[in-house]
Homo-oligomer: A and B are copies of this chain.
Amino acid sequence: MTVTIYDVAREANVSMATVSRVVNGNPNVKPVTRKKVLNTIQELGYRPNAVARGLASKKTTTVGAIIPDISSIFFAELARGIEDIATMYKYNIILSNSDQNKDKELQLINAMLEKQVDGILFMGGDITDEHVNQFQSSSVPVVLAATYDETNSIPSVNIDYEAAAYEATSFLLDKGNKKMGFISGVDDTLINKEKYNGYVRAFKEKSLSLNEDHILTGDYSYDSGIEAVNQLLAMDDVPTAVFVASDEMALGVIHGAQDKGYKIPDDIEVFGFDNTRLATMVRPTLSTIVQPMYDIGAVAMRLLTKYMNKEEVEEKKVVLPHRIVERTSTK
């Protein structure tokens, strides 16, 4: 029923090896033969079976991507970068959501390995020894995107979160804000710790004292931003500036404050992180750290292709540049 390479060979009076050659663009085929084969491929409507090819060649030209949540604006943008470069290099992506759940992550890695992916792109919280073990239980290359690996044993693409947080905090401090708040993300991830470190360093270097009470935790969501700012506003000494670990939470902070009658940035300056599309979809528009999500995904995928081709890789830990974009949520 389905037409195979063998059918084509028979119809074209050549061997299946020859058909395979023309399908794969092998130059060792006489032009006339090639044409003949191409014709009967057309006639029969032959479509190569990638599964059979994968079994024979031990290459599937598909890579696995493990992502916390594709419906998050941040990761969706990252995924787009991955996908575009993957397409460029003729790879397909098997995409799965992990919700940053470690067991799920481990299980997904295994499932992708079973499917014989040629490589894995991993986005998540932290990389534990178990992750590393799981990765090494097969020899396919792995690249981390926007994900921290404390041991530095796995190639990765990130920005310098500590420096970014430091700069954002300094920016706010330099404007004369004495009382500052920080809405951090879920606090047990390394990336979040880096942001915290940067925040602290800015105070330290300016010999300013930092109020730990003004450091709150959210889950990166809009609602948690509203919640956090409400807590801040209920305090005796309301901060005049807030650095927020994600844009979406920052929107929550802005609206939460506005809903209580505070003026942004006059009463409170708000600074975000990521520069997702949300940053300009709010009034006042959000000053934030530009983290090139799309590029992180794209570079990570590109890096992975190099590993998959066994090319020489100059730097295994890529740190992409970040910068501050000043908009109207800060003075």
Question: Using a CB–CB distance below 8 Å, which chain A residues touch chain B?
Answer: 45, 47-52, 54-55, 60, 62, 69-73, 76-77, 79-80, 83-84, 87, 92-97, 110-116, 137-138, 222, 248, 251-252, 255, 258-259, 277-278, 280-283, 294
Contacts and interface: CB of A to CB of B under 8 A. Distances in A.
Given A222-B280, A255-B281, A281-B222, A96 B71 contact: no
A116 B51 contact: yes
Contact of A83 (B70, B80, B277): B70
Contact of A62 (B79, B115, B248, B280): B115
A138 B258 CA distance: 56
Contacts of A77: 71
A83 B95 contact: yes
Contacts of A116: 49-51
B278 A281 contact: yes
Nearest to A49: B116
B115 A51 contact: yes
A259 B284 CA distance: 10
A80 B70 contact: yes
A219 B72 CA distance: 22
A115 B283 contact: no
A282 B282 contact: yes
Nearest to A61: B115
Contact of A113 (B47, B69, B96, B277): B47
Nearest to A297: B71
Contacts of A278: 281
A111 B96 contact: no
Contact of A54 (B51, B113, B283): B51
A134 B11 CA distance: 24
B55 A52 contact: yes
A109 to B, nearest CB: 11
A41 to B, nearest CB: 13
- Residue of A45, A94, A138 with most partner-chain B CB within 10 A: A94
Contacts of A283: 255, 258-259, 283
A283 B252 CA distance: 11
Contacts of A47: 110, 113-114, 137-138
A114 B52 CA distance: 10
A189 to B, nearest CB: 21
A71 B62 contact: no
Given A47-B113, A115-B62, A93 B95 contact: yes
5 contacts: A50-B115, A51-B116, A73-B73, A73-B76, A255-B281
Given A51-B55, A71-B77, A248-B281, 14 more contacts: A47-B138, A51-B54, A55-B55, A70-B79, A71-B80, A73-B73, A76-B76, A83-B97, A87-B97, A92-B112, A93-B95, A222-B281, A252-B281, A282-B282
A277 B222 contact: yes
A202 to B, nearest CB: 29
Contacts of A251: 281
A250 B105 CA distance: 37
A94 B51 contact: no
Contacts of A248: 281
